[in-house]
Amino acid sequence: MYKQVLAMYNNKSIVLGFSLLALFILVALVPTMFTRQSPYTPNFDNILAPANGQHIFGTDELGRDLFARIIFGTRYAFIVVLSVCIVTIPLGFTIGAIAGYKQNFIGNFLSRMIDVFLALPKLIIAMALVASVGVGIKNAIFAIILTAWAPYARLTRANVLQLKQQDFILVLKLQGVSSSRILFRFIAPLCLSPIFLQAFLDMSGYILMVAGLGFLGLGAQPPLPEWGSMLANAKDYILTHWWLITYPGGAILLLSLSFNLIGEGMQSVLTNKGF
C-alpha cells in the first residue's frame, strides 16, 4: 500500500491531474476569491465587449462578465459529478455484487438488467428522459444517474465472479459464514479499487454529458452560468466573437482532462506500468 501511494505521488500524470482538480475545487468553493463581478447581471451598454481591464474574458451577448460566469459555472459542473457519483457508485456496486454472487433467479435477472442498460446509448436515453420529465439541471442529473450505474455493476460483477472462487472464500463457506457477510465483508472491499479507478475515468464523461444536455437546451436553464448552455448561446457568434465559445469550451476541456489524468495515472500505478 505504501509503495502504491508513493508511486502515485511520483506519477506526473496524477500530480498534474490533482493540481488542476484542486484549482477547480478552490474555484467552486470560493468563486468570489477570483472575481467580484456578477455572473447574472446584464449590462446592455457593454454587449459583446472583448477582453479589457474590467472584463478579462470579455462579455457575452447580454453584457455579462464571461469570466465570472465561467468561475461560478464550476460549481454546477461539480454538483453534477458529485451527485452522479454519490448515487451511481453504491447503486452499481450493490447490484453488481449481488448479480455476481447469487447464482439464482435474482442474480440472473440483475445480470440481464445490467446487459440491457449497457446496450442503451447513454446520451440519447438521457435526452429522452429529460425531454419527458422536463428540462433543468436536476432532471439532467437524474437522467445521467439512470444511465451511468451499469458500468460499475458490470465491473463489480466480474470481480465478484472471480473472487468467489478463491480458496479463502471456500474456507469461509465451510466455516458456516453467511453469504451476506462473505459478500460485503470479504469480497466487496477487494472490488473497490477498480470501481474508484473507473469512476475517475468516467467523471469527464459526466461533465461532457451534462454540457451536451445544456447545449441542447435540456440541462441548466438561463440565467444559470452552466458551461454547456453558455456554448449554446455562443454558437451564433462563433465566427465574430471567438471568446464566447473558447473560454467555456476550455473550462470543460481542462476539468475533463484533470479527471482523465488522474484516472490514467492511477491505472498506470495499479497495473505497475509506471508513467
pLDDT digits (tens, 9 = 90+) for 92-127: 999 999 998 887 888 899 999 999 999 888 888 888
pLDDT at 1 over 60: no
pLDDT digits (tens, 9 = 90+) for 196-228: 888 888 998 899 998 999 998 888 888 889 999
Question: Could you tell me which of 142, 156, 222 has the C-alpha nearest to residue 184?
Answer: 156
The answer for residues whose C-beta is within 8 angstroms of residue 8's C-beta and 6 or more apart is 14, 265, 266, 269
Q: Quote the Cα angle for 215-219-224, to 5°.
A: 90
Alpha helices in 34-65 (DSSP H): none
Task: Locate 149 and state its grid cell.
Answer: 450505474
* CA–CA separation, 130 and 142 (whole Å): 8
* CA–CA separation, 30 and 36 (whole Å): 11
Look at residue 274 in the predicted model and tell me its pLDDT. 44
**Contact yes or no for 55/66 (Cβ under 8 A):** yes
Q: Taking all residues of the chain, what is their mean pLDDT, rounded to a whole number? A: 88
**Contact yes or no for 80/210 (Cβ under 8 A):** yes
**Contact yes or no for 44/63 (Cβ under 8 A):** yes
* CA–CA separation, 239 and 246 (whole Å): 11
* CA–CA separation, 120 and 74 (whole Å): 29
The answer for residues whose C-beta is within 8 angstroms of residue 243's C-beta and 6 or more apart is 50, 51, 57, 58, 66
What is the third-level CATH fold of 25-31+59-270? MetI-like fold (1.10.3720)
Environment class of residue 73 by beta-carbon count within 10 Å: exposed (0-12), middle (13-18) or buried (19+)? buried
* CA–CA separation, 173 and 101 (whole Å): 13
101, amino acid identity: Y
**Contact yes or no for 212/248 (Cβ under 8 A):** no
Look at residue 4 in the predicted model and tell me its pLDDT. 58
* CA–CA separation, 74 and 54 (whole Å): 21
Question: Could you tell me which of 1, 16, 22, 19 has the C-alpha nearest to residue 275?
Answer: 16
Q: Quote the Cα angle for 186-187-191, to 5°.
A: 130
pLDDT digits (tens, 9 = 90+) for 131-179: 888 888 888 899 899 889 999 999 999 999 888 888 888 888 888 888 8
89, amino acid identity: I
Mean pLDDT of 14-35: 93
Look at residue 275 in the predicted model and tell me its pLDDT. 41
Question: Could you tell me which of 84, 92, 73, 74 has the C-alpha nearest to residue 144?
Answer: 84
Question: Could you tell me which of 253, 265, 272, 267 has the C-alpha nearest to residue 77?
Answer: 253
Look at residue 78 in the predicted model and tell me its pLDDT. 93
pLDDT at 6 over 80: no
